Amino acid sequence: METGMELKVSPPALPPEVALAVDARDRALAALVALAEALGTPDSVPAALAEAEAALSQARVALKGLEGARQAAVGPAGALGTLGDEDEQRLRQFGAKAEEAAAALEREERRARQCQHWLWAWHGLTMGLMMLCGAVLSLDSVRTALGVTEDGHLLLALAVVAVSCEVAWWGLETSWRHLATAAGHQRDMALRLRDRAQQVAATRASAEAAADTNEATADVLGQLEEVTLALGTLVAAVTRDREETPWGTRGQGFPSAARALGDIIVALGTSREGHKEVTRRLEVAQGALVGQG
């Protein structure tokens, strides 16, 4: 039976529950029309009612599955609200600035290491000169020739230079270690910012995809709910007529079902244009019941 309600599926792919729901909806619509038309010939009602009950059971199971799938798809859209005002591009810009800061700190660290290297070389040279001068100045002939005393200021000056070099060396040791630590922190910050930017981009993309999926899923869910309600109403009415009146007695007919059909026709006729063919056949079936009961 052509229902005129084909699902328009567009990327991203819809969850498998949607296809199951569409099948259940189509079966339920067919069973609804078949049961309504069978009311005009009471002998065919039992088989039509059995099929309607089976279709109704399938529709309810599919409805429950589709509701669960829709709830699962809401998660990415909800995660979008947790992002606040975070922006992928701004995060990447901050990450780039952190990278630049790390690179500048690393350059300072290298300069500190180079200075430390030269200070250690000067320290070694000074210590060598102190040893050499100490040995040379221990000779009386050399001191006499130079006109200096054994406790002259040369060794003291060299000692001061050596100590200064060592103190500066230790200061640079501490400095470049702090610079290395700061550069590492900047690198870590840049990495975290890049990772967060990727997370934000992925979350936004997932939320956009989920929004499309939710829209299509909600449309099918609404269709299935309407058809399930209509079929359930007619099945209940026919069952009630079966209990209250003997089947096969055309004079008694199906008064509850006739009233239910009127409500179903109004509900389906005002809900979706795709139900035009269904409502037309239901109106014909209801017309055949006029005068019964």
- The residue extents of the domains of the chain are 16-83+206-289, 88-201
Q: What's the pLDDT score for residue 293? A: 45
Per-residue tokens: 287: 């017309």
The Cβ of residue 74 has, within 10 Å, a number of other Cβ atoms equal to 15
Of 9, 10, 8, 7, nearest to 22 (Cα)? 7
As a whole number of angstroms, the distance between CA 219 and CA 288 comes to: 33
Classified as helix, coil or strand, 291 is coil
Mean pLDDT of 28-40: 92
Considering Cα of 209, then 212, then 215, then 217, what sign does the dihedral take? negative
Mean pLDDT of the chain: 77
Of 263, 241, 257, nearest to 36 (Cα)? 257
Q: What's the pLDDT score for residue 138? A: 58
Q: What's the pLDDT score for residue 83? A: 53
Q: Which of 4-13, 101-110, 182-191, 219-228 has the lowest mean pLDDT?
A: 4-13
pTM: 0.54
Contacts of 44 (CB under 8 A, 6+ apart): 38
Q: Do the Cβ atoms of 240 and 127 come closer than 8 Å?
A: no
Tell me the per-residue pLDDT of 263-291, one tens digit each, with 9 for 90 and over: 998 888 765 656 788 888 888 888 887 65
Tell me the per-residue pLDDT of 40-81, one tens digit each, with 9 for 90 and over: 888 889 999 999 999 999 999 999 998 888 777 665 555 555
